[in-house]
Amino acid sequence: MKAHERFLHYVSFDTTSDESNPACPSTPGQLTLANALAEELLNLGLSDARVDEHGYVYASLPANCETDTPTLGFIAHMDTSPDACGHDIHPRIVENYDGGDIVLNEEQHVVMSPNKYTHLRDYIGQDLIVTDGTTLLGADDKAGVAEIMTLVEEIQRDNLPHGKLCFAFTPDEEIGRGADLFDVPGFGAQFAYTVDGGKLGELEYENFNAASAVVTVHGLNIHPGEAKNKMKNALLIAIEFQNMLPAWEIPACTEGYEGFQHLNRMNGDEETATLHYIIRDHDRAKFEAKKERFRRIAAYLNEKHGDGTIELELADSYYNMREKVEPYLFLIENAKRAMLDVGVTPLVQPIRGGTDGSRLSYMGLPCPNLSTGGHNGHGRFEYIPVQSMDAMVRVLRRLACPTAENA
């Protein structure tokens, strides 16, 4: 079975993760897919395939030849982002894309245009899997799941020589919990790759340092007709807090290694208002400085408006994996060589986000990230070329079976 055929099946499972549910997995559809994947691995001959009590899927292939290569793992996540609808997905394949607008949903006038998404022009003549304009697609990261599963099938089918290989599929990556309960010793790999990137050829071993910030403003409400010198409007103080942050340090104004703070949710009234932020920077010193700015603003506004007006909760989420991967740069060189061997141009660049690999690297499993070939994740304009998925399977074959002819 081709990777894209598997992918079209996997997206039929609703695996949207849910930050409000502390359970793992956070939604039942993830466990349904996990059980289906474990059964598929068993049918492919991986006799130790299993789903643990938290919905993580693990399996391995013992070495079938003499080798001194380290035990290598491949990891992808099963959940999809809650940023867009992830159920009742109706994908279709735009064959031999002609470079023009793609009407995703005629009834709702949803059109994906290369004038906005210029990378579409890189895929003229290829076959693009797209949404119907009402949901995300799920290439992040069911494409990675499908590519790894196809790798397993091809290794078994073609009897490719390899060292010990380990495979895992994780829940709840999209809400930052994918590595929380990952069994690194039980997984059994010395090194691993997450297959969770974007454009074909992306290879990443640097990611943001990340934190969350919750700013709660405690005000005092009173009838507006009697409010002079009495009302303390929490909404206005919340706006004041936001306006003291640098306006240019937001996602819409940054790229590359530039960090940001991002206001991603707000609610409230005159009595209580809450601002939810994520804080990101590749540089650890700049990351710490951004958090300190939040503390200084909170202290200033408490001094201005009275103690207890601003309540600040800061929590680190994950750190830049670079310092954990750099001692093992052969992982990067091997991935670059594998890509070049099968005609894929490596694009070594920082992740403007995080993956399971960033957490796993700090848990003792150095774990850079590989592309899947997808674009526009987390939204209705998500798409992935069939040819990119096929190319990524060839890359994974070369990485997993470097001594095999025509791997």
- The number of beta carbons lying within 10 Å of the beta carbon of residue 122 is 14
214 and 301, same domain (yes or no): yes
116 and 28, same domain (yes or no): yes
Q: CB of 366 within 8 A of CB of 331?
A: yes
The residue type of 224 is: P
pLDDT at 406: 67
27 and 127, same domain (yes or no): yes
Q: CB of 383 within 8 A of CB of 112?
A: yes
Q: Where are the beta strands (DSSP E) in 3-64?
A: 50-51, 57-61
The C-alpha torsion from 21 through 23 and 26 to 27, rounded to 10°, is -100
Angle between helical axes of 386-400 and 3-10 (0-180°, round to 10): 110
302 and 363, same domain (yes or no): no
Residues with Cβ < 8 Å from 382, sequence gap 6 or more?
130, 131, 136, 137, 138, 139, 140, 374, 375, 376
Q: CB of 167 within 8 A of CB of 143?
A: no
310 and 331, same domain (yes or no): no
| Residue 395 CB-half CA count within 13 A | 34
Indicate whether 405 belongs to any domain: no
User: Could you tell me which of 126, 188, 195, 198 has the C-alpha nearest to residue 393?
Assistant: 195
Indicate whether 271 belongs to any domain: yes
Q: CB of 212 within 8 A of CB of 59?
A: no
pLDDT at 16: 98
138 and 159, same domain (yes or no): yes
Output the tens digit of pLDDT for each of the chain's 407 residues. Answer: 999 999 999 999 999 999 999 999 999 999 999 999 999 999 999 999 999 999 999 999 999 998 888 999 999 999 999 999 999 999 999 999 999 999 999 999 999 999 999 999 999 999 999 999 999 999 999 999 999 999 999 999 999 999 999 999 999 999 989 999 999 999 999 999 999 989 999 999 999 999 999 999 999 999 999 989 989 999 999 999 999 999 999 999 999 999 999 999 999 999 999 999 999 999 999 999 999 999 999 999 999 999 999 999 999 988 999 999 999 999 999 999 999 999 999 999 998 887 889 999 999 999 999 999 999 999 999 999 999 999 999 999 999 999 886 66
Indicate whether 406 belongs to any domain: no
Domain total in the chain: 2
244 and 358, same domain (yes or no): no
Indicate whether 190 belongs to any domain: yes
Among 286, 318, 350, the domain boundary falls at 318
Please state the pTM of the whole predicted model.
Answer: 0.90
- The number of beta carbons lying within 10 Å of the beta carbon of residue 273 is 22
Structure tokens at 196: 């969770």
259 and 184, same domain (yes or no): no
d(CA 13, CA 28): 10
Indicate whether 89 belongs to any domain: yes
The residues assigned a catalytic role are 79, 173
pLDDT at 407: 66
pLDDT at 68: 86
293 and 375, same domain (yes or no): no
d(CA 335, CA 395): 8
- The number of beta carbons lying within 10 Å of the beta carbon of residue 2 is 14
Q: Where are the beta strands (DSSP E) in 228-353?
A: 260-268, 272-281, 310-318, 347-348
pLDDT at 301: 98
Indicate whether 74 belongs to any domain: yes
Among 294, 318, 342, the domain boundary falls at 318
190 and 232, same domain (yes or no): no
Indicate whether 60 belongs to any domain: yes
| Residue 166 CB-half CA count within 13 A | 22
**Which residue shows structure tokens 């004038």?**
115
Structure tokens at 15: 């695996």
Indicate whether 407 belongs to any domain: no
pLDDT at 404: 81
pLDDT at 266: 97
Among 289, 318, 347, the domain boundary falls at 318
265 and 361, same domain (yes or no): no
pLDDT at 197: 85
What's the CATH code of the domain at 101? 3.40.630.10
What's the CATH code of the domain at 239? 3.30.70.360
91 and 148, same domain (yes or no): yes
**Domain residue limits at 36:** 3-206+321-400
